[in-house]
Amino acid sequence: MSSEENLTEHPRARYIMIGGFLGAGKTTAVGRLAQHLSDQGLRVGLITNDQGSGLVDTTMLRSRGFATAEIPGGCFCCRFQSLVEAAEQLTHANTPDVFIAEPVGSCTDLVATVSYPLRRIYGDRFEIAPLSVLVDPTRAMRVLGLDEGRRFSEKVTYIYLKQLEEADLMVINKIDSLEETQRKSLRTALEERFPTKKVLEVSARSGAGLEDWFALMTSEKQGSADTMEVDYEVYAEGEALLGWLNATLELRSEEAWDGNAWMTQFAAHAQSQLEEQRYEIAHLKMTLSPEDGLGDLAVINLIRNDFVPELSQTLPTNIQQAELIVNLRAEADPDALEAALRSALDAMNAGQGAINARLTHMEHFRPGKPEPTHRMEACP
């Protein structure tokens, strides 16, 4: 049976896409929204996406019990049919009332290449919500010149600003980390630069502001404005400046060890290796899953060089054997990312009571030129 036949058997499901640059808090927000909808008795299907495979985001969302389909090996826009098939796969599993999709954080032009094609080709199956674009305040303040800290180069910044330009809902996240004056000046700067946008303020971590945002995503339909112009040469060059590394390792030791402490130390070693070369980190994220089958997970994130690795989930007990997934995105040569990761591992292995680490998956590359399956500039 074709994917078209399968999907037509079911009523229209809402399709919500939460975009935003690397590290803005998309997966955190997706998990929050999925929980919010599940608590209301709705069935949710989540879709994750990456240029490579072996994804921290998928591992995290699945560990929380959400039905999650993964599209590895290319962005939604270039793998449009895989997106439709992922929805079909989830439909078979639990017939979601709502799909929540997280696009790759270095992607833009999602309205023209994903939302409008879904509406025009599969409008009888999906009701498309407004596109949300999440904003990490520190990153945004640097891009907009409100903060002096380090920033990405011009072409990566081009992608960042294009993401903001196409937002239906511009969502300042992490307001728990902001002073009142910073929050006001960021909001003012965004409203001045993008006067037609609806700007919201939330904290996916604390829950502040989420009710209003979730209400908009679950009730409003996306409008029909003409899409923005995108220079695909600059976009491709910007994407190619970002090095990508996905690795999976098996860790084991005779003695039980503290996985939270191990991962924190490992992230700190990787950070110092990258900082030595002055590579700008976009997001280093890792999960550590013990092989005891109980489903616990430790998660660590580092979202820029001048910050600290944050454990957002911890393991309750010591472990002996575990799988470590590493996803690293930085403005750097991918070979240099691999070298940094290997040096960080060497540093860990040089310590006392070393944990035996075996690499089971490693890919590191620069994303290729985006070549969307469809590009529709207007939608009825």
Ligand X SMILES: Nc1nc2c(ncn2[C@@H]2O[C@H](COP(=O)(O)OP(=O)(O)OP(=O)(O)O)[C@@H](O)[C@H]2O)c(=O)[nH]1
Residues that bind ligand X (CB under 6 A): 20, 22-28, 57, 105, 173-174, 176-177, 203-205, 283, 285, 301, 303, 310, 312
Count residues near Mg ion (CB under 5 A). 3
> What counts of helices (H) and strands (E) characterise the chain?
13, 14
Tokens (6 digits) for 186: 């960021």
CA 273 to CA 271: how far, in whole Å? 5
Stretch that binds Mg ion, among 51-59, 122-130, 230-238, 306-314 (CB under 5 A): 51-59
∠ Cα 182 185 190 (to 5°): 120
Is residue 156 within 8 Å of residue 191, measured between CB atoms? no
The residue within the footprint of Mg ion, chosen from 7, 20, 26, 271 (CB under 5 A), is 26
Query: Which of ligand X, Mg ion, none does 330 bind, CB closer than 5 to 8 A by kind?
Result: none
CA 362 to CA 374: how far, in whole Å? 31
Biggest alpha carbon–alpha carbon distance for the chain = 65
Indicate the residue whose CB is closest to ligand X.
105
Closest to 281 measured CA to CA, from 314, 245, 248, 312: 245
CA 87 to CA 106: how far, in whole Å? 22
Closest to 72 measured CA to CA, from 91, 58, 52: 52
Nearer to Mg ion by C-beta: 27 or 113? Answer: 27
* Contact track, Mg ion, 185-204, x by CB under 5 A: --------------------
Closest to 33 measured CA to CA, from 54, 50, 47: 47
The residue within the footprint of Mg ion, chosen from 13, 23, 25, 27 (CB under 5 A), is 27
Smallest distance, Mg ion to C-beta of residue 281, A: 15
Query: Which of Mg ion, ligand X, none does 227 bind, CB closer than 5 to 8 A by kind?
Result: none
Stretch that binds Mg ion, among 57-65, 125-133, 180-188, 269-277 (CB under 5 A): 57-65
Nearer to ligand X by C-beta: 312 or 317? Answer: 312
Stretch that binds Mg ion, among 55-63, 175-183, 187-195, 355-363 (CB under 5 A): 55-63
Closest to 32 measured CA to CA, from 169, 203, 200: 203
Smallest distance, ligand X to C-beta of residue 329, A: 6
**CA 368 → CA 133, 152, 186, 233, 242, distances in Å?**
23, 19, 33, 11, 10
Tokens (6 digits) for 25: 């808090």
Name the β-bridge partners of 13.
Answer: 126
Nearer to Mg ion by C-beta: 57 or 323? Answer: 57
CA 332 to CA 54: how far, in whole Å? 20
Query: Which of ligand X, Mg ion, none does 59 bind, CB closer than 5 to 8 A by kind?
Result: none
| 296 belongs to the binding site for Mg ion (CB under 5 A) | no
Nearer to Mg ion by C-beta: 50 or 257? Answer: 50
CA 282 to CA 300: how far, in whole Å? 14
| 97 belongs to the binding site for Mg ion (CB under 5 A) | no
Nearer to ligand X by C-beta: 3 or 314? Answer: 314
Stretch that binds Mg ion, among 22-30, 83-91, 137-145, 257-265 (CB under 5 A): 22-30
Smallest distance, ligand X to C-beta of residue 379, A: 26
- Identify the DSSP state of 260: H
Q: Which of residues 265-284 bind Mg ion (CB under 5 A)?
A: none
Q: Which residues bind Mg ion (CB under 5 A)?
A: 26-27, 57
